[in-house]
Structure 1
Amino acid sequence: MGPFPVSNGYSYILLIADYVSRWVEAIATKTNDAKVVVDFLKSNIFCRFGVPKVLISDKGSHFCNRAMSSLLHKYRVTNSQAEVFNREIKKTLQKMTNPSRKD
């Protein structure tokens, strides 16, 4: 997000949200580029929460580039495919609403 008025050299905010839990991670950044996104995903998301199956983005240039493609290919993450996300949500909901569920 941004650019915003510069504060201590920072003018952008990178937001990462988990659609299921609605947990949000945010960081102020000086630039709005692929390196910032890749570094943040590796050091703050993948290592703390695990690698997601799907990454849904706004398809901005900082998400659709060689660096991101390489990272997502390495970790086998699908990028920006709402159909995959919807399929995963459907599976989760089916499990949660299954009448024979034991827990």
Structure 2
Amino acid sequence: PFPPAKGQVKFLIVAVDHFTKWIEAEAVATISANNIQKFFWKNVITRFGIPYALVTDNGLQFTDRRFNEFFEELQIKHRVTSVEHPQSNGQAEATNKVILRELKRRLGKAKGEWHDHLHEIL
């Protein structure tokens, strides 16, 4: 988690398109299946359409029954990376590193303001 910012946000949801490398990201107070589903609907589906597949890690928010039912209804294939092989979601891992590096570089000691500068980095 990041240092708490306005609205007690301290987590980042990140989605990366495999082909175009387009990044969508949003700061949230909690990482929950409901927040992930809202993010995906608002930032991906309504803007770009229904994707063929989604690759995630195996966090509880991604293995939630309602979360998976949401994707089944939309006929989106959900693939989960292995705990032993997180590199299989390498694009997201690389994107996370870039976002972290840039936030640290731009903000220095103003850590609680990272949320305000997120979209400058994307």
- Asked if Structure 1 and Structure 2 have the same fold, meaning a TM-score greater than 0.5 normalized by the shorter chain, the answer is yes
* Alignment TM class, shorter chain as reference: 0.7 to 0.9
Deviation at 1:41, TM superposition (A): 0.9
The residue number in structure 1 matching 2:117 is none
1:40 counterpart letter in structure 2: F
Q: TM-score, normalised by structure 2?
A: 0.62
User: 3-state DSSP class of the match of 1:19?
Assistant: coil
**Does 1:64 find its partner at 2:56?**
no
**Does 1:26 find its partner at 2:40?**
no
Are the counterparts in 1 of residues 58 and 80 from structure 2 also a CA contact under 8 Å?
A: no
The residue number in structure 1 matching 2:48 is 49
After the TM superposition, which parts of structure 1 deviate over 4 Å for at least 4 consecutive aligned residues? none
Are the counterparts in 2 of residues 51 and 75 from structure 1 also a CA contact under 8 Å?
A: yes
1:5 counterpart letter in structure 2: P
Are the counterparts in 1 of residues 53 and 78 from structure 2 also a CA contact under 8 Å?
A: yes
Q: Note the aligned Cα RMSD (angstroms).
A: 1.3
| Equivalence map 1:1-103=2 (5 Å) | 3-8=1-6, 9-80=8-79
Are the counterparts in 1 of residues 53 and 79 from structure 2 also a CA contact under 8 Å?
A: yes
Q: TM-score, normalised by structure 1?
A: 0.73
Deviation at 1:69, TM superposition (A): 0.9
2: CA distance, partners of 1:62 / 1:28: 16
- Higher relative CO (Cα under 8 Å, sequence separation at least 6) belongs to 2
Return the structure number with greater helix share: 2
Gapped runs of 5+ residues in structure 1? Answer: 83-103
Q: Percent identity?
A: 26
Gapped runs of 5+ residues in structure 2? Answer: 82-122
1: CA distance, partners of 2:13 / 2:58: 14
1: CA distance, partners of 2:28 / 2:3: 12
1: CA distance, partners of 2:80 / 2:38: 22
User: 3-state DSSP class of the match of 1:72?
Assistant: helix
